[in-house]
Amino acid sequence: MTAEKRGADNELLIVRTFDAPPAVVFALCSSAEHIKRWMGPKNFTCPHVTIDFRVGGAYRAMIQSAEHGQNWFGSVYREIVQDKRLVFTFAWDNEGPAAGIETLVTITFQERDGKAVQTFHQAPFANVERRDSHMGGWSEAFDKEEAYAEKVAKEHAA
């Protein structure tokens, strides 16, 4: 996974180091009261989070901003390894390009020099099994992405 820094074109990979032990960061990601304090982009608040924190348990949350109103999302926990790993599905309720498309979020927490290295991965849900068994081929295929971008740029310029 570490070699797969970029991830694929339809996947999101974000690696962050937090100045706290992994157990603390895990707690911040798994308690409703903590999540309310950080969930959502800047200028958003997260006034509502309910969590049934067990495998198969549902969570539901809402973020809001003056500009964008209320945005609800939620789904189900798939995997919980205390202080180490969280896997859950994620889907937005509301309208918009991402509405109703279920994705799978995997967050792992590792300790390095007393800090937590959090590896966050999100991908369309149906994708996951295949992706895990074909990671090599996929990433090699899309090493060509830069060439692709250049080509597109040229086509547009032409």
Partner 1 sequence: MSDRLSATLSALADPTRRAILARLVQGQATVNELAEPFEISLPAVSRHLKVLESAGLISRGREAQWRPCKLEVQSLRDVDDWLSTYRRFWEESFDRMAAYIGELKAGAGHDRRKKRR
State how far the Cα of 132 lies from the Cα of 79, in Å rounded to an integer: 16
End-to-end CA distance of the chain: 39
Query: 37-57 burial, b if ≥16 CB within 10 A, otherwise e?
Result: eebbeeebebeebebeeeeee
- Binding to partner 1 by residue 39, rule CB under 8 A? yes
Binding status of residue 6 toward partner 1 by CB under 8 A? no
Select from 37-45, 52-60, 79-87 the region that touches partner 1 (CB under 8 A).
37-45
Binding mask 84-123 for partner 1 (x = CB under 8 A): ------------xxxxxx-x--------------x-x-x-
Binding segment toward partner 1, per CB under 8 A, in 40-48, 50-58, 74-82: 40-48
CA atoms within 13 A on the CB side of 121: 21
Asked if 5 interacts with partner 1 (CB under 8 A), we say no
Residue 152 sits in the site that holds partner 1 (CB under 8 A): yes
